[in-house]
Amino acid sequence: MINNMKDDCCSANNEKGSYGKVSHLKPFASTPLMQNKKEEAACCGLPPGPECSKFARPGYELCGFVEDFIDTAAGPVPRIGTKLSAADHVMSVLARFGIGRDSYGIAPGIYCTGTPDADSPVLVTANYKLTFDALRKELASLSAWILVLDTRGINVWCAAGKSLFSTEEVIKRVKVSGLDKIVSHRELILPQLSATGVSAIDVKKGSGFKVIWGPIRANDIKNFLNAGKEADKSMRRVTFTVLERLILVPVELSFLVKPTFLILLGIFLLSGIGTDIFSLKDAWGRGLMVAFAYAAGIFAGTVFVPVVLPWIPGKAFSIKGAVTGIIAAFFVVMTLKNVANTWELTALFLCTTAVSSYLGMNFTGSTPYTSPSGVEKEMRKAIPVQALTGFASIVLWIGAAFIK
Amino acid sequence: MQDFRYLYDVSTLSLNHEACIGCGMCEIVCPHGVFKVENKRAGIIDKNGCMECGACAKNCPPEAISVNPGVGCAAYIIQTWIIGKNGNSRGIAKCC
Is A165 in contact with A148 (CB distance < 8 Å)?
A: no
Q: Do B1 and A237 touch (CB under 8 A)?
A: yes
Q: How many CB atoms lie within 10 A of CB A180?
A: 15
Residue of B nearest to A311 (CA): B3
pLDDT at A3 over 70: no
User: Whats the size of chain B, residue-wise?
Assistant: 96
Look at residues A235, A127, A244, A163 and name the one whose alpha carbon lies nearest to residue B30: A235
Residue B51 has its nearest CB partner, among A239, A316, A370, at A370
Residue B8 near chain A (CB below 8 Å): yes
pLDDT on residue B75: 80
Is A240 in contact with A369 (CB distance < 8 Å)?
A: yes
Residue B31 has its nearest CB partner, among A237, A310, A376, at A237
Look at residues B85, B11, B1, B14 and name the one whose alpha carbon lies nearest to residue B51: B11
Residues in chain A with CB shorter than 8 Å from the CB of B77 are: 372, 375-376, 379
Best mutation target among B73, B81, B85, B95 (most A Cβ atoms within 10 Å) is B73
Residue of B nearest to A98 (CA): B96
Q: Do A238 and B32 touch (CB under 8 A)?
A: yes
In the 8-state DSSP scheme, what is residue A299?
I
pLDDT at A231 over 50: yes
Please identify among residues 260-289 of chain A the ones whose CB lies closer than 8 Å to any CB of chain B.
none
Spatial separation of the C-alpha atoms in residues A104 and A93, rounded to whole Å: 12
Residues in chain B with CB shorter than 8 Å from the CB of A162 are: 95
Spatial separation of the C-alpha atoms in residues A205 and A152, rounded to whole Å: 25
Lowest-pLDDT choice from A30-44, A131-145, A226-240, A291-305: A30-44
Best mutation target among A154, A168, A189, A196 (most B Cβ atoms within 10 Å) is A196
Residue B10 has its nearest CB partner, among A160, A369, A371, at A371
Residue A370 has its nearest CB partner, among B25, B72, B96, at B72
Q: Do A213 and B29 touch (CB under 8 A)?
A: yes
Q: What is the pTM for the complete model shown?
A: 0.85
Spatial separation of the C-alpha atoms in residues B69 and B11, rounded to whole Å: 10
Mean residue pLDDT of chain A comes to: 90
Q: Do A377 and B7 touch (CB under 8 A)?
A: yes
Under 8 Å CB-to-CB from A66, ≥6 apart: which residues?
A: A10, A14, A55, A78, A79, A80, A81
With 0-12 / 13-18 / 19 or more C-beta atoms within 10 angstroms meaning exposed / middle / buried, residue A24 is exposed
Residue B1 has its nearest CB partner, among A361, A369, A373, at A369
Lowest-pLDDT choice from A95-99, A268-272, A352-356, B88-92: B88-92
Going from N- to C-terminal start, the domains of chain A cover: 64-238, 243-403
Q: Do A200 and B73 touch (CB under 8 A)?
A: no
Q: β-strands A187-191, A66-72: how paired?
A: unpaired
Q: β-strands A122-125, A144-148: how paired?
A: parallel
Q: Nearest-CA distance from B96 to chain A in Å?
A: 8
- The one-letter code for the residue type at A284 is W
Exposure string of B29-62, with b = 16+ CB inside 10 Å and e = fewer, is bbbbbbbebeeeebebebebbbbbbbbbbbbbee
Is A173 in contact with A149 (CB distance < 8 Å)?
A: yes
CA atoms within 13 A on the CB side of A363: 34
Residue B33 has its nearest CB partner, among A237, A255, A370, at A237
pLDDT band at residue A16, thresholds of 50, 70 and 90?
A: very low
Q: Do B71 and A365 touch (CB under 8 A)?
A: yes
Residue A374 has its nearest CB partner, among B30, B72, B96, at B72
Decide which of 3.40.50.920, 3.30.70.270, 3.40.50.11600, 3.40.50.670 is the CATH code for A64-238.
Answer: 3.40.50.11600
Residue of A nearest to B75 (CA): A362
Under 8 Å CB-to-CB from B77, ≥6 apart: which residues?
A: A372, A375, A376, A379
Is A396 in contact with A350 (CB distance < 8 Å)?
A: yes
Look at residues A231, A182, A179, A238 and name the one whose alpha carbon lies nearest to residue A209: A179
ipTM, two decimals: 0.90
pLDDT at A14 over 90: no
Domains of chain B as residue ranges with CATH: 14-69 (3.30.70.20)
Q: Do B7 and A369 touch (CB under 8 A)?
A: no
Mean pLDDT value of segment A335-346: 95
pLDDT band at residue B86, thresholds of 50, 70 and 90?
A: low
pLDDT at A24 over 50: no
Under 8 Å CB-to-CB from A283, ≥6 apart: which residues?
A: A268, A269, A271, A272
Torsion angle of C-alpha atoms B49, B51, B54, B57, degrees rounded to 10: 20
Mean pLDDT value of segment A50-74: 91
3-state helix, strand, coil in chain B (%, to 5): 25, 15, 60
In the 8-state DSSP scheme, what is residue B19?
T
Residue B22 near chain A (CB below 8 Å): no
At A234, is the secondary structure helix, strand, or coil? helix
- Rounded percentage of chain A residues whose pLDDT exceeds 70: 89
Spatial separation of the C-alpha atoms in residues A64 and A119, rounded to whole Å: 27
